[in-house]
């Protein structure tokens, strides 16, 4: 495909991508957009040209504050919208060439793409689970007995998921120093977690499991996900019911939802699962995706520093298995629900997806380009996640999620 | 107060209650109601009489499918609605006497009262936490070190919260027999948990904690809450990140939201907290509530059997402390969020709030009136929670949450 819209070769938003998001411009209300190169495509304006007419979409959907109503139209419609856009953006005679549907991305504000109903976080990287098991529990038995039998997951907080560009405050809370009673104060061990999340595209009914075979029909698309973690708060609170205040002060996501269909060309085989999993977790076909991932720390006014390079293909448990497991007990899912991967670490220490792992629990120091040192995240640091898939000259990427950490209030 | 509406002395829905809920009637859309005795009060019809006119409420709010928009009007408005209703229901010359605002409750369908955003479950009964610690972990150190320092809580699944009268299916999932690899099948140890939940009445901002002093302004009201639990699934999955599929297949709530203001007369002192809690968890005034609670099992076509009699006043951590803790790290709350108490057990074994505790982990058998035995819940059993506060002839109750367990699909 060749588009008449010009963009650089390394753009995440090539003609092969065509993601969906929510933008506002000047004083307009937020509404639905796509993106090519560095141009936001106003889909309300596109719809007015008539190119979607045969889809019989109620035009009010383009003026929604969130993608939920659009996603709920179903993949037949949303995929058609994407394919029509691709076709028109390649058609030299397209009506879009003569209309006012493009706005440079630097002139718009990008918003939360979806209203998140429920948010679940998995724990599906074997390297991350092993690293954490070694640090938190027993180096000899780092993986707990259930880990290879089921994709461990837990519920997180949906209300505090924010979009790239939203500053967060360093959380306060209880910590337990080794030699004293618990104390209250600002978190001292603030961490990121490099994750990706998928967004549910179709409601299921309470009582009805979703099979691994049917799972893709329920997955609309993906975003980058930074699962902020306050390690000292988490360590003291997390037994026996799991992480709570150590996580729920904020999670940050990238603004563009890249569809599952756009990622299809980048599918790869996952790791061999040994012992064999139960039948409801077995799947056919390639179900991992080769997505290059990066984490960068940028101290205020300074250069960016790459601190991790990982890949979504490392996941031990894939999205189909996660969704089949999540619903095997009849738990229902709804459009807009978000399912995060858990921290994506690779084997190599340069691919670890959290400072906890990079600093080996605070034992090792990272020196940044400006000469300052980090074991965890400082006030006024920006943390940036980036991700893209690339193959045979085709690039489909996520842009970034960039967040500044403000001092505790 | 004396109402011209007649109701029996032991009605949960006395003139002192005036709760809020959502009903539908014949083929009408769901809309907002209150309740007195066994009469549902159609608040759209009441509004049309003009008695709320001075409050300047947009009348479309009465036709909402959920209470959220009504609750979001703020306590000044919602409390005024309740007080005006009480006044009119006591006024012998009230216009309500001559209008068509009452419908017998047996003729209506009651719906989920709120659209739940985020759902959190606490673990705030010291008796329950001790009982479970003994059964699951170490009888000598049943309470974990953090338990008396903070109200332990975790995030649950909002999408699967259903209203009284909604049947649930026995969940399927992974279990780990002691002597074999994990297996997949219907839960064998299905349990209830006797809980209450409060509903958030006001949004807070990300980054802004809510103090114990200000907490009541954020609590709209309460419901009964049955936190269904699949003990075999839970036991295998819950390390290290907490309960997931063992809980998220369903939670059941009572349909009427009883306001915090209706419960005010029943406040009592809570237990002495020793060791002293950190300043952000300290509070002034009586903050527990004396609410009698019951759990009953009713096999299909058989009599009800009381299996537990507990009280909400047993809570070690009160709602103010729970909310202050939940937000101390800046986590935001939204109108419609639900915060459950955790299982409410008392000291006496007749007051244990789950079959896991009643049967001592499956060691002890309960014989019902029909001669059948229970260690956990059988297919086609109804589980019923009831609750009411009573003092000096005044009764304010919750009605019930009644749920039938269907065989696994």
CA distance B48 to chain A (A): 31
| pLDDT at residue A249, rounded to an integer | 98
**pLDDT higher than threshold 90 for residue A223:** yes
**B277: nearest CA partner in chain A:** A182
B239 touches chain A (CB under 8 A): yes
Instruction: Determine contact: A135 vs chain B, CB below 8 A.
Output: no
In this structure, the number of other CB atoms found within 10 A of the CB of residue A300 comes to: 12
Chain B residues in contact with A156 (beta carbon < 8 A): 155
Q: What is the pLDDT of residue A154?
A: 98
Give the pLDDT mean for B219-234: 98
**Percentage of the residues of chain A whose pLDDT score is greater than 90:** 97
Q: Name the residue of chain A whose CA is nearest to B175's CA.
A: A146
Q: Does A274 touch chain B (CB under 8 A)?
A: no
Determine, for residues B237 and A150 on separate chains, whether the beta-carbon distance falls below 8 Å.
yes
Contact A172 B240 (CB under 8 A): no
| Average predicted confidence (pLDDT) for chain B | 97
pLDDT-based confidence at B136, cuts 50/70/90? confident
A-chain residues within 8 Å CB-CB of B230?
329
Per-residue pLDDT, B138? 87
- The answer to whether residue A326 scores a pLDDT higher than 90 is yes
Residue whose structure tokens are 């915060």: B339
**In the predicted model, what is the mean pLDDT of residues B377-393?**
97
Q: Is there a common fold for A21-110 and A119-406?
A: no
Helices (H), ranges, B216-372:
231-237, 260-263, 319-327, 355-358
User: What confidence category does residue A27 fall into, taking pLDDT thresholds of 50, 70 and 90?
Assistant: confident
Domain B119-406 CATH superfamily: Fumarylacetoacetase-like, C-terminal domain (3.90.850.10)
Residue B115 has pLDDT above 90, yes or no: yes
Q: Is A243 on the interface with B (CB under 8 A)?
A: yes
User: Nearest residue of A to residue B406 by CA position?
Assistant: A207
Which residues of B are the active-site residues? 128
Whether B240 and A136 lie within 8 Å, measured CB to CB: yes
Q: Which of B330, B343, B409 to mutate to test the interface with A (most CBs of A within 10 A)?
A: B330
pLDDT of A286: 96
Chain B residues within an 8 Å CB radius of A278? 174, 182-184
pLDDT score at A136: 80
Structure token pair of residue B160 = 């699967």
Confidence bin at A224 (pLDDT 50/70/90): very high
**Whole-angstrom distance, CA of residue B398 vs CA of residue B197:** 12
A195 CB near a chain B CB, below 8 Å? no
Mutate to test the interface with B, among A193, A241, A333, A336 (most CBs of B within 10 A): A241
Counting one residue from A and one from B, how many pairs have CB atoms under 8 Å apart?
199
Q: Which two tokens stand for residue A147?
A: 């880990």
Q: Is B188 on the interface with A (CB under 8 A)?
A: no
Handedness of CA A397, A398, A404, A405 (dihedral sign): negative
pLDDT value of position A137: 83
* Domain spanning A21-110, CATH class: mainly beta
Q: Is B182 on the interface with A (CB under 8 A)?
A: yes
Domain boundaries, chain A: 21-110, 119-406
If you measure CA to CA, which chain B residue comes closest to A405? Answer: B207
Say what the pTM is. Answer: 0.98
User: What would the pLDDT profile of B180-221 be if each residue is shown by its tens digit?
Assistant: 999 999 999 999 999 999 999 999 999 999 999 999 999 999
Contact B330 A172 (CB under 8 A): yes
Over residues A172-212, the pLDDT tens digits come to 999 999 999 999 999 999 999 999 999 999 999 999 999 99
Closest CA–CA distance from residue A206 to any residue of chain B (Å): 7
Whether pLDDT at B279 is above 90: yes
From A82's Cα to the closest Cα of chain B, the distance in A is 29
In chain B, whose CA is at the least distance from the CA of A155? B155
Q: Give the pairing type, strands B172-175 and B168-169.
A: unpaired
Residues 6+ apart with CB under 8 A from B80: B55
Q: Residue A341's pLDDT is what?
A: 98
pLDDT for the residue B207: 98
pLDDT digits (tens, 9 = 90+) for B396-405: 999 999 999 9
Distance in angstroms (rounded) separating the CA atoms of residues B8 and B14? 9
A201-224 mean pLDDT:
98
Question: Is A151 touching B (CB cutoff 8 A)?
Answer: no
Q: Per-residue DSSP letters for B17-62?
A: T--BEEEEETTPPPEEEEEETTEEEEHHHHHHTTTTGGG---GGGG
CA distance, residue A294 to nearest chain B CA (Å): 26
Chain A contacts of B242, Cβ < 8 Å?
Answer: 154, 238, 240-243
Question: B168: which chain A residues are within 8 Å (Cβ-Cβ)?
Answer: 206-207
Q: Smallest Cα–Cα separation from A311: which of A251, A366, A352?
A: A352
CB A172 within 8 A of CB A245: no
CB contact under 8 A, B242 and A242: yes
Q: Of all residues in chain A, what percent carry a pLDDT higher than 70? A: 100
What mean pLDDT do residues B264-284 have? 97
Contact of A56 with A319, CB cutoff 8 Å: no
Collapsed DSSP state (helix, strand, coil) of residue B31: strand
Inspect the interface and report whether the beta carbons of B238 and A240 lie closer than 8 Å.
yes
Are A182 and B250 a contacting pair at CB < 8 A? no
Q: How confident is the model over B301-320, as a mean pLDDT? A: 98
- Residue A68 is classified by DSSP as H
Q: Of these residues, A111, A128, A325, A326, which one is catalytic?
A: A128
Whether A272 has a pLDDT exceeding 90, the answer reads yes
B134: exposed, middle or buried (Cβ count in 10 Å: 0-12, 13-18, 19+) = middle
Residue B367: CB atoms within 10 Å: 10
Spatial separation of the C-alpha atoms in residues B342 and A228, rounded to whole Å = 26
CB B218 within 8 A of CB B207: no
- Interface probe, candidates B227, B236, B241, chain A, greatest A C-beta count within 10 A: B241
Helix (H) or strand (E) holding A408: none
Task: Report the chain B residue with the minimal C-alpha distance to residue A337.
Answer: B159
A291 by DSSP, 3-state: which? Answer: coil
Sign of the four-CA dihedral B126, B131, B137, B141: positive
Q: Residue B249 and residue A209: Cβ atoms within 8 Å?
A: no
Question: Which sign, positive or negative, has the C-alpha torsion B342, B344, B345, B350?
Answer: negative
Q: Which residues of B are less than 8 Å from A162 in CB distance?
A: 206
Measured between beta carbons, the chain B residues lying within 8 angstroms of A154 are: 154-155, 241-244
Q: CB contact, 8 Å: B150 with chain A?
A: yes
Element holding A44 (H helix, E strand)? helix A43-48
Segment A50-62 shows an average pLDDT of: 97
Q: Is the pLDDT of residue A138 over 90?
A: no
Question: Does B145 touch chain A if contact means CB atoms closer than 8 Å?
Answer: yes
Scored b (16 or more CB within 10 A) or e, A181-198 reads ebeeebbebbbbbbbbbb
Q: How far apart are CA A228 and CA A135, in angstroms?
A: 18
CB-based contact, B30 to chain A, within 8 Å: no
Q: Which of A155, A204, A235, A243 best tests the B interface by mutation, with the highest count of B CBs <10 A? A: A155
- Residue A348: the pLDDT is 95
Percent with pLDDT over 70 in chain B? 100
Asked whether this complex has an ipTM greater than 0.90, the answer is yes
Active site residue A111: no
B170 close to B135: Cβ distance less than 8 angstroms: no
Pairwise CB contact (< 8 Å): A184 & B280: yes
User: What pLDDT is recorded for position A147?
Assistant: 98
Nearest to B157 among A155, A182, A250 (CB): A155
Residues in chain B with CB shorter than 8 Å from the CB of A332 are 159-160
Q: Test A249 with B157 for CB contact under 8 angstroms.
A: no
pLDDT (average), residues B247-274: 98
Indicate yes or no: CB of B144 within 8 angstroms of CB of A233.
no
Phi-psi region of A77 (alpha: psi -120 to 50; beta: other; left: phi over 0): alpha
What residues of B are in contact with residue A275 (Cβ under 8 Å)?
181
- pLDDT reported for residue A193: 98
Q: Alpha carbon B304 to chain centroid distance?
A: 21
- CA-based angle B143:B148:B149, to the nearest 5? 130
List CB contacts of A9: < 8 A, sequence separation 6 or more: A395
Phi, psi of A216 (to 5 degrees): -60, -30
Contacts of A158 in chain B (CB under 8 A): 117-118, 158
Q: Which of A174, A278, A328 sits opposite B182 (nearest CB)?
A: A278
Q: How far is A242 from chain B (nearest CA, A)?
A: 4
- pLDDT for A325 equals 98
Tokens at A6, concatenated: 């010009």
Average pLDDT, integer, range A303-330: 98
**Taking the alpha carbons of A88, A220, A279, A287 in that order, is the dihedral positive or negative?**
positive
Kindly report the nearest CA distance between residue A326 and chain B, in angstroms: 7
Phi (first) and psi of residue A217, to 5 degrees: -65, -15
């Amino acid at each position: 495909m060749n588009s008449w819209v010009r963009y650089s070769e390394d753009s995440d938003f090539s003609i092969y991508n065509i993601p969906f998001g929510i933008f506002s411009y000047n004083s307009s209300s937020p509404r639905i957009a796509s993106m090519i190169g560095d141009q936001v495509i106003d889909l309300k304006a596109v719809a007015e040209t008539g190119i979607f007419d045969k889809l019989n979409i109620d035009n009010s959907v383009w003026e929604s504050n969130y993608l939920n109503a659009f996603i709920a139209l179903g993949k037949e419609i949303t995929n058609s919208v994407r394919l029509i856009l691709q076709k028109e953006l390649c058609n030299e005679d397209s009506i879009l060439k003569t209309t006012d549907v493009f706005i440079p991305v630097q002139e718009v504000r990008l918003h939360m793409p979806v209203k998140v109903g429920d948010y679940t976080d998995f724990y599906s990287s074997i390297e991350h689970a092993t690293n954490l098991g070694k640090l938190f529990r027993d180096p000899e038995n780092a993986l707990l007995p259930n880990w290879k039998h089921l994709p461990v997951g837990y519920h997180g907080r949906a209300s505090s998921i924010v979009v790239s560009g939203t500053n967060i405050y360093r959380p306060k809370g209880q910590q337990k120093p080794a030699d004293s009673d618990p104390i209250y104060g600002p978190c001292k061990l603030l961490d990121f977690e490099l994750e990706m999340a998928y967004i549910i595209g179709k409601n299921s009914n309470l009582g009805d499991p979703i099979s691994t075979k049917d799972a893709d029909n329920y997955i609309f698309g993906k975003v980058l996900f930074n699962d902020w973690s306050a390690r000292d708060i988490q360590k003291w609170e997390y037994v026996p019911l799991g992480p709570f205040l150590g996580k729920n002060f904020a999670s940050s996501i990238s603004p563009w939802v890249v569809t599952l269909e756009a990622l299809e060309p980048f599918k790869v085989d996952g790791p061999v699962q040994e012992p064999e999993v139960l039948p409801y977790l077995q799947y056919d076909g390639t179900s991992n995706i080769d997505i290059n991932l990066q984490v960068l720390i940028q101290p205020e006014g300074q250069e960016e520093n790459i601190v991790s390079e990982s890949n979504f293909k490392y996941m031990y448990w894939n999205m189909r298995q996660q969704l089949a497991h999540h619903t095997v007990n009849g738990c229902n899912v709804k459009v807009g629900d978000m399912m995060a991967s858990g921290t994506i670490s690779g084997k190599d220490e340069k691919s670890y997806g959290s400072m906890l792992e990079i600093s080996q629990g605070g034992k090792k120091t990272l020196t940044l380009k400006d000469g300052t040192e980090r074991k965890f995240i400082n006030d006024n640091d920006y943390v940036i996640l980036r991700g893209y898939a690339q193959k045979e000259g085709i690039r489909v990427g996520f842009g970034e999620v960039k967040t500044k950490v403000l001092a505790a209030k």
